A and B are shown apart, each in its own frame.
Chain A
Amino acid sequence: MILGCLLTQPRWLIFASFNKMDDFSGRLLLFRIGDLACAAPATTVREILPPQRATRIPGAPPPVEGLINVRGELVTLVDGARLLGRGPGVDGGALVLLEWAATTVALAADEVLDLVPLGSVELEAREELVGIDPGVVQAVGRHAGRSFVVLALDALLGPLLTVQEDV
């Protein structure tokens, strides 16, 4: 219950945990997956691409759509909606390419919402979040009246993508 713990702490503690992460300097990219507004530190975002068809990887778990070709580099595409347990993605409007664990992962999102300076983000305590596993949420934020969750990439992608040797 990471989120629970996080959200019952005083606000300065949440900030302290943010400050520990170098990645959090700068800005956050906000994007929508289903009805959920999500965020990732802009430093982990490599680029945004239009959707493309993936080549299936037999045996890989369902959120993994397969491999896509990004200018000659092979990148694993993960369906954000399935990943967050929200059923198969519908719109699939954008691929957010994230640098994670020394590799690049494409996350299929419905649309990119905004790129906001971290300084303008308000981190607020909320008692509960409906329909999302708190373990995959690193923090909850609010910007310009909109609430969003900062995704915990390790918790989300770790179980899917082994950190073993490449083949």
Chain B
Amino acid sequence: MDLSQYAELFRTETRDHLLTFNRLLLEWEQHPDQPEPVAGIFRAVHTIKGMAATMGYARVADLAHRAETLLDRFRQGHRAVTDEELELLFRTADALEALVEASVGGRDAAVDVELLLGALDDAAGAHAAEPTARPRRISFVAAPVGVGRRIEVILRTDSPLKGARAALVLQRMAALGTVLAVEPAPAAIESDAFDGRFAFRLDATADAATIEREIRSAGDVDRIGIDAGDAVAEGDRDAGRTRHLRVDLRRLDTLMNVVGELVTARGRLEHLAAARGDAALAEDVATLSALTQRIQTEILQARMTPVWQVFDRFPRLVRDLSRQLNKQVAFKVEGKEIELDRAVLDEIGDPLVHLLRNAVDHGIEPPEERAAAGKPAAGQIVLAALRDRGAVTIVVSDDGRGLDRAKILAEAKARGVVDGSTDEVTDDLVLRVLGRSGFSTAGQVSQVSGRGVGVDVVLTRMRELGGSVEIKSTPGVGTTFTLRLPPTLAIVPALLARVGHERYALPLTHVAETVELDAGRVTRLETRDALLLRDELLPLVHLRDVLQIEGEPPRRRPVVVLQLGDRRTGLVIDRMEGQREIVVKSFRPPRGTLPIFSGATVLGDGDPVLILDAGGFA
């Protein structure tokens, strides 16, 4: 039976269950004598076991089965869990994750879990696990009429091996509640003649939408009939109509690309309509524009994903790190429901790991040092997501010792970032020094961090994403990193700047304002021009010079003020050509390309235009 097409689905779903497993273990660890989380953990492990067995991943199923045996003892509720047992379960979660990945890739033999299996068996005591796991059998006992809801499922006629598919559906249902009165009989379902129609009763609290989603996730399901049953109220029926489905990310990417093209084509059409001065055409184009806009908004919305999908793995990470480093950390996550485009979300995981590691390793002091400073023994690390105008802000803050500014200044001087006479360490300077590859204030390299690859990774990634990083650090009080991100990458508002005969797009994310270049207010600041703007000297970058465009610039020119964190730079261009929504496309820069571009786009008239990276000028 070829289940390979379900491997990806299996992996995604297992990941969800493993997140639950980890989250509940952390809860349990907080209160080892309270067994509430055990039921949820058991359910997660049990579901993984059932799915793995259906997929034929025997080693995953076996590991899950042994863990289940141990957990079952706690479900009986005799005593509090010990630290060793929790550690064993954390290791099991890790091993399951590794084994699932390996199994899906067909390399499960590469993951050795023998020792862990032994440890689980030992912990479970005399009731050692059976050597081979089998998926839990579904009860085929006839149920009293009226228990649960009656559910009918019809598999697609072209579904291969309908029996296995039906078994998968029943496994999923068993994870939701109790499955009863399955028709036809198991032998008939398993036979080759099985036509794909079957029914059962499900005694579960899940709503119809959830049940339907679970059934459909088994794949090859054509029709589902869920009898409301006595307990189901009218409202629940309505709830059943809100349909959710898992969509392959690549499909959404394709849709996004197509919409990108549509936006470009719309721009081109608007351009043509304006050039012709045809009122009727202009009206039709306006209607088309509105519709395109709606499609674009809908698709962007479909791509939005709550940050918890990435944040939920951090409590475990912080716990492990703080234990490893003998520190006490209270970790708080806020704003989990804030949404980001999937593509942005996929990219922020690594930078956040670096920041959290730094916070635990360098930020939070050992308990005795904290006590001596009059702080609570447990340090606090907060990871928060919040909406901030058009952007999403992610904050990582700790109440630790703050950054060592003397060391940073010494490093900055040694590396020539500042001249020898400087003695002021601004937050901006801190960021510039920390952001250099290879810099670390850690006296010694620990396993956790201190190799100097951290902040530079964060800065680079944020720049690639069109975001920015700010840092605030106070000695003895703590450090806060603020990451500002565009909520979506694909379509961004941008200024269109003209220099000579060329046009460039400048995303608005970092544009603070535009002012006119007043020659009378330009002075020389070290090696570059600066503009006196509201009593502040704004360093200027002449885009003409950077791009080596010859000829005379116009007399009146605008300055686009770019703001990255605390740093402001004025970009002098020839002329502004308004604001556009641009579809960001990647391109492969030829060797030698100036490092000031973050991508390219196609304008309404069909011309490609390069996108300037504000970070390249600041």
Q: Which residues of A are interface residues toward B (Cβ below 8 A)? A: 53-61, 64, 66-69, 72-74, 76, 103, 159-164, 166-167
Contact = CB atoms under 8 A, between A and B. Distances in A.
Contact of B602 (A54, A72, A161, A166): A72
Nearest to B500: A56
A24 to B, nearest CB: 25
B260 to A, nearest CB: 7
A59 B609 contact: no
Contacts of A57: 589-590, 593, 610
Query: What is the interface residue range for chain B against chain A?
Result: 20 to 34
Contacts of A55: 502, 600, 607-610
B590 A166 contact: no
A160 B590 contact: yes
Given A67-B600, A74-B587, A103-B588, A59 B608 contact: no
Given A68-B608, A69-B606, A167-B597, A60 B264 contact: no
Given A58-B596, A61-B592, A74-B600, 13 more contacts: A57-B593, A58-B547, A58-B593, A58-B594, A58-B610, A67-B610, A68-B608, A69-B607, A76-B588, A162-B591, A164-B589, A166-B586, A166-B588
A72 B590 contact: no
A10 to B, nearest CB: 38
A69 B596 CA distance: 21
A166 B261 contact: no
A49 to B, nearest CB: 13
B593 A74 contact: no
Contact of A59 (B585, B588, B593): B593
B599 interface: yes
A68 B589 CA distance: 13
Interface of B: 260-261, 264, 464, 502, 546-548, 585-594, 596-600, 602, 606-610
A77 B600 CA distance: 15
Given A59-B593, A72-B261, A161 B547 contact: no
Contact of A76 (B590, B602, B606, B609): B590
Nearest to B547: A58
Nearest to B503: A55
Contact of A162 (B588, B598, B607): B588
Contacts of A53: 607
A59 B546 CA distance: 10
A74 B591 contact: no
A167 B463 CA distance: 11
Contacts of B588: 76, 103, 161-164, 166-167
A69 B260 CA distance: 14
What is the predominant secondary structure among interface residues of chain B facing chain A? mixed
Nearest to B602: A69
Contacts of A64: 590
A74 to B, nearest CB: 5
Interface SS of chain A: helix, strand, loop or mixed?
loop
Contacts of B608: 54-55, 66-69, 74
B592 A59 contact: yes
A162 B597 CA distance: 15
A117 B548 CA distance: 47
B506 to A, nearest CB: 15
B549 to A, nearest CB: 9
B494 to A, nearest CB: 15
Contacts of A162: 588-591
**Residue among B464, B590, B609 with max Cβ neighbours from chain A (10 Å):** B590
A161 B607 contact: no
B590 A74 contact: no
Query: Which of A55, A58, A68 has its CB near the most chain B CB atoms (within 10 A)?
Result: A58
A61 B593 CA distance: 8
Contacts of B594: 58-59
A66 to B, nearest CB: 8
Q: Which of B546, B591, B598, B599 has most chain A Cβ within 10 Å?
A: B591
7 contacts: A64-B590, A67-B608, A68-B608, A72-B261, A74-B608, A103-B588, A164-B589
Contacts of A56: 502
A45 to B, nearest CB: 19
A167 B598 contact: yes
Contacts of B589: 57, 60, 162, 164, 166-167
Contacts of A167: 464, 586-589, 597-599
Contacts of B596: 58
A68 B606 CA distance: 9
Query: When A and B form their complex, which 5 residue pairs have the shortest distance between CB atoms, in order from nearest?
Result: A166-B586, A59-B594, A60-B590, A67-B608, A55-B608
Nearest to A54: B608
A55 B502 CA distance: 8
A27 to B, nearest CB: 27
A104 to B, nearest CB: 10
A72 B264 contact: yes
B67 to A, nearest CB: 40
Contact of B591 (A58, A73, A160): A160
Question: Which among B464, B599, B609, B610 has the greatest number of chain A C-beta atoms within 10 A?
Answer: B610
A13 B546 CA distance: 51
B585 A74 contact: yes
A61 B589 CA distance: 11
Contacts of B590: 57, 60-61, 64, 76, 160-162
A44 to B, nearest CB: 17
A93 B529 CA distance: 45
A159 B591 CA distance: 7
Nearest to A103: B588
B257 to A, nearest CB: 8
B262 to A, nearest CB: 10
Contact of A58 (B548, B587, B599, B606): B548
A108 to B, nearest CB: 15
B103 to A, nearest CB: 29
A164 B592 CA distance: 12
A79 to B, nearest CB: 12
Nearest to A157: B590
Contacts of B592: 59-61
A56 B590 CA distance: 11
Given A72-B264, A166-B586, A61 B591 contact: yes
A73 B590 CA distance: 16
Contacts of A159: 591
Contacts of A160: 590-591
B603 to A, nearest CB: 9
A17 B464 CA distance: 42
B593 to A, nearest CB: 5
A53 to B, nearest CB: 8
B587 A166 contact: yes
A9 to B, nearest CB: 33
B119 to A, nearest CB: 43
Contacts of A66: 608
A26 B261 CA distance: 34
Nearest to A104: B588
